Amino acid sequence: FDTAVGIATEAIDRLHTTAESHMRTLVVEVMGRHSGWIALHAGVAGGANVILIPERPFDIDQVCAWVRHRFEFHYAPIVVTAEGAVPKEGQMILKDRSLDEYGHVRLSGIGDWLAREISQRTGTDARTTVLGHVQRGGTPSAFDRWLATRFGLHAVDAVKDGAFGTMVALSGTRIVRVPLPGAEAKTRTVDPALYDEFGVFFG
């Protein structure tokens, strides 16, 4: 997670320069499926003007109003969207309806749709950058290396103790054992109150 956020943040930082030089909106689509954690963290860290997450269906008219507001100050906006973000109408924006090897719908396409809508509704140019699998590769951050090392140490201890049917997880700064049945049952989503904290930066 930390590595993916770092890569996405660096991409947003670079895109600010391009957006300013061409005075256009740049929509950055990041991974995360049905959780907006990467979009929220990278969007805030990268100084995005709009952040869209799956947990909060968005109003396209409001998004365009934020974009127009930024242009009033001669500032090119950056819109960061999670791949699973949806408009308030509730229709998922997908390139296709095919499934991956795990039976999940392939998410992607919201960035292209947003760029088209922003261009049509505001009369300004908008382009999309889809980070996709670029976020999943490369050199891990120091935090992720440190965390992987701790997970490995504690996993070996769990085997030694015969604690089968559990997984190791980070809780605060502690590594804990979590029962496997149920650990994967619920998607950990962004708390709406946390998302609302950053609303002051939108537009």
Query: What does the alpha-carbon distance between residue 198 and residue 89 come to, in Å, rounded to a whole number?
Result: 23
Pair 149, 91 in one domain: no
Pair 108, 25 in one domain: yes
The boundaries of the domain holding residue 163 are 142-179
Phi/psi at 150 (5° precision) = -65, -45
- pLDDT tens-digit series, residues 74-95: 888 999 999 989 898 755 555 5
- pLDDT tens-digit series, residues 19-39: 888 889 999 999 988 899 999
Pair 53, 82 in one domain: yes
Query: What does the alpha-carbon distance between residue 203 and residue 197 come to, in Å, rounded to a whole number?
Result: 14
Pair 82, 101 in one domain: yes
Domain total of the chain = 2
Contact 187, 180 (CB under 8 A): no
**Predicted model pTM:** 0.85
